[in-house]
Structures are given as C-alpha cells and as structure tokens.
Amino acid sequence: MTDDTIIDRCEAKGLRMTGQRRIIAQVLDDARDHPDVEEIYARASKIDTAISLATVYRTVKLFDEVGIVDRLEFGDGRARYEDADRDHHDHLFDLRTGAVIEFVEPEIEALQEKIAQKLGYRLMGHKMELFGVPLDDIKPEKDA
C-alpha cells in the first residue's frame, strides 16, 4: 500500500524498537517469499548471531497482532509470515514443488464481501489458498 518500511510502521504504532526487532523487521521487509520462523531466525542470525529463537517467535507474534505482518498456514504445521502491507493477494500452492505463487483477483474479493454480508457478517479478513499441479506436468493416466 504505502512505501513505509516495517520499521516505520512499528514506530508509527509506538512499539519499542530494540536491535532485535529492527533486524527481524528488516528480514521481513527484504523477504520476497513466505519464510517460517526457523527461516526468519536463520536470516536474522546472519546479521546478529546472538538473537534467540524465542525472540523471533515473540516478535512475529507481536507484528501479527498489530497487523504489521500476516500469518499464513499452508498445512505443513508451521506458520509462515509476510509483510501485511503489500497489495492484497492470495496464494496458490504448487503440490509438485511446494512453490507458492501469489495472485490478485478483485472479483474474488468482491464476491467474498457479498457472501459475508448475505450471511449477516461484516468481513474482517479472509484466507484463500488454491492447491494445484502444473498443467504441463500431469502424467497421462490410463491411455498410453
């Protein structure tokens, strides 16, 4: 949405900015993928070896609670995180390779809003994940 970094947004929300939080914020800002906590920890550790896993957990949880990052789950048991302040998109999970493809589909957004209202709700958020296999990678089935 804006060009603010995560650090900017932390400060705007009045969070106390420690060295560790700055590093984690930077890691998340730089990420173009959807790292899990272990991965964020690994990247942060390259900058500051002393950072602890518990701090990473506490920090991403905090960032999620104040809406600075989004927590994603792709069903593999680990939570993944991404900067919340990007154009809204959903995810397609490549079942063959595990790759995550992002896409935006305004039609879906509008439809979801409509559905929620029809059910008597105000939509506060949503999650949509598609799971698929590449079209050019489907094995022939019964016919030779």
Partner DNA sequence: GTACCTGCAAACTTTTTGCTACCGA
Partner DNA sequence: TCGGTAGCAAAAAGTTTGCAGGTAC
Q: 23 is written with which tokens? A: 């590093």
Closest distance between a copy of itself and the C-beta of residue 66, in Å?
A: 17
Query: Which contiguous run of DSSP H or E holds residue 41?
Result: helix 37-47
- Check residue 61 for interaction with DNA (CB under 7 A): yes
User: Which of 15, 31, 92, 116 forms a contact with DNA (CB under 7 A)?
Assistant: 15
Quote the DSSP letter at residue 138: P
Does 12 help bind DNA (rule: CB under 7 A)?
no
Who contacts 70 (Cβ-Cβ below 8 Å, separation ≥6)?
64, 81, 82, 83, 84
Query: Which listed range, 10-18, 20-28, 33-41, 122-130, lies at the site for a copy of itself (CB under 8 A)?
Result: 122-130
Query: Could you tell me if 32 and 39 are in contact, meaning their C-beta atoms sit under 8 angstroms apart?
Result: no
User: Residue 58 touches which of DNA, a copy of itself, none (CB < 5 to 8 A by kind)?
Assistant: DNA
d(CA 90, CA 43): 25
Q: Which is nearer to a copy of itself, 22 or 71 (CB)?
A: 71
Q: Restricting to residues 20-39, name those near a copy of itself by CB under 8 A.
A: none
